Structure 1
Amino acid sequence: MKLLTMHDLNMVDSLSFSFKGTFDATGGVEPALTPLVDALEKYADGWMPTLVKSTRKRRYSREAVWRAIEERRDEYGSIIGLYRSESPAVSLVLNLTLAQGQSTLRASLDVQPLPFFREESSRSLAAVARAWASQYPVAYASAHSNADEQLADSPNFGRDDREARRDGFDKIYELFWLNIFGPKLVESVGRERMLSTPAHLVEELPNGSILLVLWPTAAEFASEEARVVQARAHVHLRPDLDFDSVLRTLRERSAALVPVEPRFHPDVAPFLSRLPDEFAISERQRKIAELNAFRPPVPEEWLPVAHPSDVANPERVLESYGDLSEGLVAALHTKVPSIMDETAESLSDLDFYFWKENFPVRYTRELIDSHTAPALGAYLGDVLVRRLGGTWVLRAKMEESQVRVGKRVWLPFLRARRYMQSRQSLLDYSLTQFFREVERCRP
Structure 2
Amino acid sequence: MNGAEKHELNIDDRLRLSFEATFDQTVDLKRALEPLLNVLEAHAGVWMPEVVEGKRKYTYSRATVLKALDEKRGKKSMSAGFSRVASPLLDMSLRLWLPPSAPRLYVWISVQPLSLFMETARCREFVEMVRTWAAHYPVSDATANSLSEDQLADVSSFDRAEEASEENRVHEVSWLNVFGPKLVESVGRERMLSTPAHLVEELPNGSVLLVLRPTAADFASDEARVAQARAHVHLRPDLDFDTVLRTLRERSAALVPVEPRFHPDVAPFLSRLPDEFAISERQRKIAELNAFRPPVPEEWLPVALPSDVANPERVLESYGDLSEGLVAGLHTKVPSIMDETAESLTDLDFFFWKEDFPKRYERHLIDGHTAPALGAYLGDVLVRRLGGTWVLRQKMEESQVRVGKRVWLPFLRARRYMQSCQSLLDYSLTQFFHEVERYRP
Does the TM-score normalized on the shorter chain lie above 0.5?
A: yes
CA-CA distance at 1:59 after TM superposition: 3.3
Deviating more after overlay: 308-317 vs 233-242: 308-317
The DSSP-based 3-state class of the residue aligned with 1:308 is coil
Which residue number corresponds to residue 103 of structure 2?
A: 103
Which residue number corresponds to residue 66 of structure 2?
A: 66
The one of 387, 392, 413 equivalent to 1:394 is 392
- Give the direction of change, closer, same or farther, for the CA distance of 1:396–1:145 in structure 2 (3 Å limit): same
Question: Which amino acid is the alignment partner of residue 327 of structure 1?
Answer: G
Cα deviation 1:372-415 (Å, max 9, x = unaligned): 11111111111111111111112222211111111100111111
The one of 211, 214, 220 equivalent to 1:213 is 211
Please list, as runs of the form range in 1=range in 2, the aligned pairs for 1:32-181 lying within 5 A after superposition. Answer: 32-100=32-100, 102-117=102-117, 118-153=119-154, 167=165, 169-181=167-179
Would the aligned equivalents of 1:14 and 1:111 in 2 still touch at CA under 8 Å?
A: yes
Determine the C-alpha separation between the residues in 2 that align with 1:354 and 1:379: 15
Which residue number corresponds to residue 187 of structure 1?
A: 185
Identity fraction in percent: 71
CA-CA distance at 1:60 after TM superposition: 2.9
Please list, as runs of the form range in 1=range in 2, the aligned pairs for 1:40-439 lying within 5 A after superposition. Answer: 40-100=40-100, 102-117=102-117, 118-153=119-154, 167=165, 169-439=167-437
CA-CA distance at 1:268 after TM superposition: 1.2
- Give the direction of change, closer, same or farther, for the CA distance of 1:154–1:141 in structure 2 (3 Å limit): farther
Determine the C-alpha separation between the residues in 2 that align with 1:18 and 1:24: 20
- Give the direction of change, closer, same or farther, for the CA distance of 1:260–1:55 in structure 2 (3 Å limit): same
The DSSP-based 3-state class of the residue aligned with 2:19 is strand
Would the aligned equivalents of 2:159 and 2:171 in 1 still touch at CA under 8 Å?
A: no
The DSSP-based 3-state class of the residue aligned with 2:265 is coil
Cα deviation 1:106-132 (Å, max 9, x = unaligned): 100011111111211111111111112
CA-CA distance at 1:430 after TM superposition: 0.4
- Give the direction of change, closer, same or farther, for the CA distance of 1:324–1:71 in structure 2 (3 Å limit): closer
Deviating more after overlay: 207-216 vs 30-39: 30-39
Determine the C-alpha separation between the residues in 1 that align with 2:176 and 2:343: 46
Which residue number corresponds to residue 27 of structure 2?
A: 27
The DSSP-based 3-state class of the residue aligned with 2:17 is strand
Determine the C-alpha separation between the residues in 1 that align with 2:59 and 2:279: 31
Cα RMSD after superposing both structures: 2.3
Would the aligned equivalents of 1:374 and 1:417 in 2 still touch at CA under 8 Å?
A: yes
Would the aligned equivalents of 2:131 and 2:209 in 1 still touch at CA under 8 Å?
A: yes
Would the aligned equivalents of 2:9 and 2:278 in 1 still touch at CA under 8 Å?
A: no
CA-CA distance at 1:85 after TM superposition: 3.0
Cα deviation 1:293-317 (Å, max 9, x = unaligned): 2221111111111111222332222
Determine the C-alpha separation between the residues in 2 that align with 1:84 and 1:374: 45
The DSSP-based 3-state class of the residue aligned with 1:283 is helix
Cα deviation 1:55-107 (Å, max 9, x = unaligned): 34333332332333233323322111233333332232101111147311110
Determine the C-alpha separation between the residues in 1 that align with 2:102 and 2:255: 41
Question: Which amino acid is the alignment partner of residue 375 of structure 2?
Answer: G
- Give the direction of change, closer, same or farther, for the CA distance of 1:30–1:419 in structure 2 (3 Å limit): same
Determine the C-alpha separation between the residues in 2 that align with 1:427 and 1:248: 35
Cα deviation 1:266-325 (Å, max 9, x = unaligned): 211221121112111221122122212222111111111111122233222222222221
- Give the direction of change, closer, same or farther, for the CA distance of 1:394–1:250 in structure 2 (3 Å limit): same
Cα deviation 1:4-34 (Å, max 9, x = unaligned): 9844762201100001111121222222222
Would the aligned equivalents of 1:54 and 1:68 in 2 still touch at CA under 8 Å?
A: yes
Cα deviation 1:150-205 (Å, max 9, x = unaligned): 11118998899xx98xx585421111000000100111111111111111111111
Deviating more after overlay: 99-108 vs 431-440: 99-108
Determine the C-alpha separation between the residues in 2 that align with 1:433 and 1:380: 12
Determine the C-alpha separation between the residues in 2 that align with 1:89 and 1:423: 33
Calculate the TM-score normalised by the size of structure 1.
Answer: 0.93
Determine the C-alpha separation between the residues in 1 that align with 2:159 and 2:402: 56
Would the aligned equivalents of 2:92 and 2:107 in 1 still touch at CA under 8 Å?
A: yes
Determine the C-alpha separation between the residues in 2 that align with 1:128 and 1:405: 66
Determine the C-alpha separation between the residues in 1 that align with 2:402 and 2:249: 55
- Give the direction of change, closer, same or farther, for the CA distance of 1:262–1:132 in structure 2 (3 Å limit): same
Question: Which amino acid is the alignment partner of residue 329 of structure 1?
Answer: V
Would the aligned equivalents of 1:140 and 1:169 in 2 still touch at CA under 8 Å?
A: no
